[in-house]
Structure formats: C-alpha cells, structure tokens
C-alpha cells in the first residue's frame, strides 16, 4: 500500500499566508473604525484615560 502526499509550493503557501494576514488586518482595522465611530465620546475618553493609568503614564 502506498500513499501519495501533495504539498503546496512554498510560493503558494506564502501567498496564502500573506493574503490571510491582509484580510485579518483589514477586518481588525474596519472594526476599530466602526467601534470608534459609533462609540460615545465620553466612553472613548474614559478608555484612553484608563489605558494611560494602566501604563503608569501620568496624565494629571
């Protein structure tokens, strides 16, 4: 009994990885734009303010 293994060429695999990375980055970017666009200004300010405190960055 013999088995045959087919593998993708390295250029095809790299192209697929690159395309996946671009799609994921685009989805994250679009999500951030919509999140920031539809969030109330006070919620964004409070989130940024809290983040500065968690990084031990003085802000007041």
Tens of pLDDT, residues 3-60:
666 665 567 777 789 899 999 999 999 998 888 788 888 888 888 888 888 888 777 6
Say what the pLDDT of residue 56 is. 85
What sign does the CA torsion over 29, 33, 35, 41 have? positive
User: What is the extent of the structural domain holding 28?
Assistant: 12-54
Is 22 within a domain? yes
Residue 52 CB: number of other CB atoms within 10 A?
Answer: 13
Is 37 within a domain? yes
Six-digit token string for 32: 């951030």
Six-digit token string for 59: 């802000």
Say what the pLDDT of residue 27 is. 96
pTM of the complete model beyond 0.75: no
Q: How many domains does the chain have?
A: 1
Q: Residue ranges of the alpha helices (H) in 1-60?
A: 10-38, 41-54
State the DSSP code for 39: S
Separation between Cα atoms, residue 39 and residue 48, nearest integer Å? 13
């Amino acid at each position: 009994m013999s088995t045959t293994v087919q593998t993708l060429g390295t250029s095809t695999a790299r192209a697929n990885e690159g395309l996946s990375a671009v799609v994921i980055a685009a989805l994250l970017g679009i999500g951030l734009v919509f999140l920031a666009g539809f969030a109330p200004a006070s919620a964004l300010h409070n989130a940024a303010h809290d983040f500065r405190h968690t990084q031990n960055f003085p802000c007041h």
